[in-house]
Amino acid sequence: MAENILIQAPGFSHRYCSLLIAHCSLLIAHCSLFIDMTIALTEHQPAQTLVKPGITWEQFCAIRNSFADIPGIRASYCQGTLEIVTISKLHETIKCILAALLVEYFLRLDIDVFPSGSYTQSVRGVVEYEADLSYAIATEKEYPDLCVEIVVSSGGTDKLKKYRQVGVKEVWIWKRSKIAVYVLQDGDYTQSDRSVLFPDLDLAVLETCVQLRSLTQAVKQFRQSLDRG
């Protein structure tokens, strides 16, 4: 009905009306995403994940910008797929403790690292994301050698696909209190039982310490483990 009215109105071509309707449809979709994520935050729900395929780069940029001033929401894009996640308190707790423990390890072994945290990594038109923790080893680089992603919600996209686009050498995914290590080999990721970048790091100890939830106690216990060698 709306299209017919617009087409009959003086000065409006069929092409203009089609573009206007398409724009309005996109705006409605943006509003729907905005409402869903806002409700999840205001109701203090656990971390939520929303995945939407078939999104253009321009649509992603518009959606990302619409959430720019809302804390606790992260949008990423990889080859036509949009993923929006809400960042929970648990997510941030795990990230903070894990980052502190890694600093302890780097200092103890005198490993020169260049952290970039959740810096936005992007290839225009292809991929854009923010890892939870990012590190370049030995020298600064455009893209990090290690990215760490903390997953506390169910569902979501293939987590490795976006890192593959920029050639991140190693990806750690924390999920269900375990760290899964993925190493880039011949353009694809292979799961490994230990880090190739840090082969002496005991991941089981790291996992145990993170679960203490107290930063002080986690660091103390991790230091004791390092002291024992």
34-62: pLDDT as tens digits: 555 555 444 445 567 888 999 999 999 99
pLDDT tier, 15 (very low <50, low <70, confident <90, very high otherwise)? low
Q: What pLDDT, on a 0 to 100 scale, did the predictor assign at position 24?
A: 43
Percentage of the chain lying above the pLDDT 70 cut: 78
User: Out of 2-11, 106-115, 171-180, which region has the weakest mean confidence (pLDDT)?
Assistant: 2-11
Task: Answer yes or no: pTM beyond 0.85.
Answer: no
Task: List, edge to edge, every strand of the sheet that includes 178-185.
Answer: 113-115, 133-137, 146-151, 170-175, 178-185, 188-192
Q: Helices 89-108 and 203-210 meet at what angle, rounded to 10?
A: 140
- Which tokens sit at 202? 């005991």
Cα 71 to Cα 197: distance, rounded to the nearest angstrom: 33
Q: Helices 203-210 and 215-228 meet at what angle, rounded to 10?
A: 160
Can you tell me the mean pLDDT for 114-139? 96
Which CATH number is associated with domain 89-228?
Answer: 3.90.1570
Q: pLDDT (tens digit, 9 = 90+) per residue, 186-224?
A: 999 999 999 999 999 999 999 999 999 999 999 999 999
Q: pLDDT (tens digit, 9 = 90+) per residue, 58-89?
A: 999 999 998 888 888 899 999 999 999 888 99
> Domain locations in the chain?
2-86, 89-228
Can you tell me the mean pLDDT for 2-14? 43
What are the E-state strand segments in the chain?
49-52, 73-78, 81-86, 113-115, 120-123, 127-130, 133-137, 146-151, 170-175, 178-185, 188-192
Q: Does the pLDDT of residue 136 top 60, yes or no?
A: yes
